[in-house]
Each structure stands twice: as structure tokens, then as C-alpha cells.
Amino acid sequence: MASLELKGVRKAFAGTPILDDVSLSLESREFIAFLGPSGSGKSTLLRIIAGLETADAGEVWLEGRRIDTLPSGKRDIAMVFQAYALYPHMSTRENMAFGLRNAKVPRDEIERRVADAAAVLEITPLLDRKPAEMSGGQRQRVAIGRALVKHPKLFLLDEPLSNLDAALRLRTRVELAQLKQKVEASVIMVTHDQAEAMTLADRIVVMNDRRIQQVGAPMEIYSRPGNVFVAQFVGSPAMTLLPVKLAEGATDATVYLGDGATVATRVARGGLPVAADLRLGLRPEAVRVGGGVATTKAKVELVERLGERTLIYARLADGTAITAEDDAYSRVAIGDEVGLAIDGSAAHLFGPDGTGYHRAAA
């Protein structure tokens, strides 16, 4: 049975549409990430599921029960807020017990659940502290604990890692992944950080401009982006897009770059739109400096050394920008003219409406 189902959800604030006909279905115990830039509607969608906003149209179902007509507290949903929203005058224990007391859970049951959650999250020594006496990381654990004790059918995490420093964020990410294995519930996490979404989620829902752009497993989103937005939003640095002309013949499409070079892709020619302006999508790792037979030449504008690899930002003869990759100890310098070897088998094509076309799945 599907865990959460959204059916045609719409929302507008003061006439400005925020969500437009959003439908989605979650498997049970699935970890879903809503990924998108600010203003894409992902947080609004989360708040509609939580009951903190009401949808203008559409339905929300959780495990066979319609919940969009219920108040937040009756939805079997727990939420971890971005700024944690711990009750400042209550101790950790009281914070975690508050919802259970309101739900009239027996006292010994509350104590047991709080103790269990505290043990899992390793916050037992913090149970009698107040939020002001804890660090950001500790507060976040308490916020997660407050959600855990409710044994909800669905967890909502609103940018759960955004308020942590870099080191803690990485550690918490690992812990969230472990936690996911332990809970018997589905999880929806809102994030604008693709690394979080890629590492944690079973499936990613990429959102932009009021709509779901693509739903898929992390590597599917990365390797088969449904459209130009997804291709450019997911992956860092962003995918290079080059205007190309389609060559005649062959089953797989071969294209001409603006500077006349040819790239033989593995995208089936038959499925492409006829006689259209196409764009070639290349991730940096599909464009190597030096190695193999050079497809074309480019002038280097910026060299970015990332440690394990080097990114080369360059410009082709016709002026289009392209991002390439080189070894960690690249000798390329700004201003150099370098040969680029484009791996056509890793290339993507995008139609005039932005739709992505990829090589047939292996």
C-alpha cells in the first residue's frame, strides 16, 4: 500500500500560484527528498502535508486515510523544524513528552518511549537540560527525538541540516541515514542541498517553478535528467549545455558543435524531435583534458583544484562555455589552449522544450 499520496494539490498565496497540480505517491518506509531552489514550492508542499497550510485544491492521503481535512495533530505525522522549534522553557524530557501527553498516552508508556528515543539518539545525559543549555547539534537531536517518540506514520524533515556547521552536517547526514533504517515510517525531507538528497533519499522529487520536475532514484536523476532544469540543478558544477546541430544518418545521433567538431552520442536518433534546435548536455567528467583523441579545442579561463580532481572552465572557438575535468595534478594554466576529449557515450541531448534524451538504459 502506498504510504503517502498527493492528488492534484494546488496552492496560491494572494493570487500567486505556488503549487500547480502536484501529484505524488510514496511507497511505505520510503525516504523521499524534495529537492529544489528557494521558491520552488517544496516547503509549502511539506507544510500542506503537515497541515500547517491548507491546499486550495487536491487531496492528501496517508495509509488509506484522507488527512488533509484533519488538524495537524491528528494526522499521524511528526515534523522536525528547520530551526528545531523546541519549547524553550521545557527540558528535553518535557519537550519530547509534550505531544504524547496531549495524546493522553499513559505515563509509563511516555517514559519508556522517551528513554528509548534518548538512547537511540544518545541524548540521555541531556534529558533534564533546556534548549538554551545545548549546542545546535544537540538541539537537533532533541528535535528528532521529539518526532521519534510519537511513532508517526510519516516523518517530515524541513531542511534538517541547514543550521549545522559543515563537519556536524556531514556526521548528522550519516546518522540520519542510519536512523532511517530503524524507523518504521516513511520520511520526507525538504532540502536545497543535492548532496543531502543524493546520499539520504531512496527517491528524489525535484521541484521547480510550482511543479514536480522529475521523480526518481538519485542516480537516475543524475544520469537521466528529465529536462534541462534537472540536468543543471543536480550535479556540481552544473552540466554544460552546448547548442548543436543534428548530423544525418546512423541509429545513434551524431551532432555538430558550434565550432564544427562532431560528437557521436549514444542517444537513439529516432526519438528526437525532427529538425529542431538541440542542446548537448555534458557533465564535467564526460569532457577530459588531454586524455584520448581530442574532439575539439578550447581556451582555459579558470582552473579550479578540488584535490581529487581539477575542473577546467574553458571556452570553445565559437565562444560557448564548457566545463572539463582533469587529473588532480593538472598542469593546465589559465590562458592555455587545450584539447578536449568528449565522451559521446556519456552525453545527453535536450529538445527545444527542454526535454532530456538519453542513451538507452543498460
Partner 1 sequence: MTTERDWRGLLFVAPFLALYLLILVFPLLRGLWLSLNQVDLFGAGHFVGFGNYARLLHDPVFGTSLVNTFEVTLMIVPPLTIISLLLALALNRAGKGAAVLRGIFFASAVLSVTIVTLIWRFMLAPDAGLLGEISKALGREPLPFLSDPHLVLPALAITTIWWSVGFPMLLFLAGLQQIPQDMYEAAALDNSSGWTTFWRITVPALRRTLILVVMLQTAAQLQLFGQSQLLTAGGPSGASRTAVLFLFESAFGRWELGYASAAAEVLFLIILAVTLTQYWATSRNEGHGR
In this complex, which beta carbon is closest to partner 1, that of residue 150 or of residue 358? 150
51 backbone φψ class: left, alpha, beta (φ>0; ψ -120 to 50): left
Least Cβ distance, residue 279 to partner 1 (angstroms):
42
Name which of 180, 205, 197 is nearest 29 in CA terms: 180
* Phi and psi at residue 28, to the nearest 5°: -75, 145
In this complex, which beta carbon is closest to partner 1, that of residue 2 or of residue 90? 90
CA dihedral over 267, 270, 271, 277, signed as positive or negative: positive
Which three three-digit cell numbers place residue 129?
537540560
Least Cβ distance, residue 180 to partner 1 (angstroms):
20
Least Cβ distance, residue 86 to partner 1 (angstroms):
8
Least Cβ distance, residue 109 to partner 1 (angstroms):
15
Least Cβ distance, residue 46 to partner 1 (angstroms):
11
Binding residues (CB under 8 A) for partner 1: these are: 50-52, 71-74, 77-79, 81-83, 85-90, 98-99, 102-103, 130, 146
Q: How far is 325 from 286, CA to CA, in rounded Å?
A: 8
In this complex, which beta carbon is closest to partner 1, that of residue 24 or of residue 79? 79
Least Cβ distance, residue 156 to partner 1 (angstroms):
9
In this complex, which beta carbon is closest to partner 1, that of residue 16 or of residue 102? 102
Name which of 145, 149, 140, 139 is nearest 101 in CA terms: 149
Q: Are 340 and 288 in contact (CB under 8 A)?
A: yes
Least Cβ distance, residue 102 to partner 1 (angstroms):
4
Three-state SS for 195? helix
Q: Which residues contact 159 (CB under 8 A, 6 or more apart)?
A: 43, 82, 190, 191, 192
Q: How far is 153 from 76, CA to CA, in rounded Å?
A: 6
In this complex, which beta carbon is closest to partner 1, that of residue 81 or of residue 313? 81
Least Cβ distance, residue 52 to partner 1 (angstroms):
5
In this complex, which beta carbon is closest to partner 1, that of residue 90 or of residue 115? 90
Please give the C-alpha separations between residue 94 and each of 78, 80, 112, 127, 223, in angstroms, as whole numbers.
Answer: 16, 16, 13, 8, 46
Q: Angle 136-148/92-102 helices, nearest 10 degrees?
A: 20
In this complex, which beta carbon is closest to partner 1, that of residue 92 or of residue 330? 92
- Long-range interactions of 87-90: CB distance < 8 A, separation 24+: 87/131, 88/130, 88/131, 88/132, 89/130, 90/130
In this complex, which beta carbon is closest to partner 1, that of residue 117 or of residue 342? 117
